[in-house]
Amino acid sequence: MSASTAGFEIRPASEKELGAIVALEASTPTAPHWPAGTYQAIVQASVADSPAAFPKRCLLVAVNEGSGLLGFAAGAFERTGEAELETVAVAEAERRQGIGAELCLGVATWAQARGARELLLEVRASSRGAIGLYRKLGFEGIGRRPGYYRQPEGDALVMRLALI
């Protein structure tokens, strides 16, 4: 998978980009703040992409030659046919240029190619910008998880995108 649009490319992350991914995540207050080893494991598993291994996971990056890493997204596909958009982060200076949308669509395409019927996500109920983006991409609200987020505390809106 490699898509190029508006001066940036969406493609699977490589190990050489892990430092930049962790740094971007650290600078994004709403990111999940996973250990660096989690991102490394996703990259290594996606290279192997064993047919028997579940969950299958992807880590996509948005890059351009001049600025390097612009953003990233992670997704997971379960044996049940459900996929999850686990996280999306875009550098603050690069937001509102379509990068987040393209990363989301990249995860959706990746999940669909593996047989996912739907893509789920949780988003802070207070994050109007993100919710607007997800709705624009076709996600619909299907539930709420009270107290799902910590630091700061907040509810999660559960959203779903049908892939078939």
Q: Is the pLDDT of residue 1 over 70?
A: no
Q: Is residue 60 part of a domain?
A: yes
Confirm whether 140 is domain-assigned. Answer: no
Q: Which residue has the tokens 């709420």?
A: 144
Residue 84: which pLDDT band, with cuts at 50, 70 and 90?
Answer: very high
Whole domain around residue 26: which residue ranges?
3-121
| CATH number of the domain residue 12 falls in | 3.40.630.30
- Cβ–Cβ contacts within 10 Å for residue 78, how many? 15
Q: pLDDT tens, 89-148?
A: 999 889 888 999 999 999 999 999 989 999 999 999 999 989 999 999 999 999 999 999
Question: Does some domain include residue 139?
Answer: no
Q: Is 5's pLDDT higher than 80? A: no
Inside any domain, residue 137: no
pLDDT digits (tens, 9 = 90+) for 60-71: 999 998 778 999
Classify the C-alpha dihedral 48-76-86-149 as positive or negative: negative
Residue 141 belongs to some domain of the structure: no
Query: Is residue 89 assigned to a domain?
Result: yes
Q: Does residue 21 contact residue 40 with C-beta atoms inside 8 Å?
A: no
Q: Is residue 65 part of a domain?
A: yes
Neighbouring-strand partners of residue 64 = 68
Residue 21 maps to a domain: yes
Q: For residue 53, what pLDDT is reported?
A: 64
**What are the pLDDT digits (tens) for 35-58?**
899 999 899 877 666 666 666 899
Give how many domains the chain has, as a whole number.
Answer: 1
The pLDDT value recorded for residue 109 is 95
pTM: 0.89
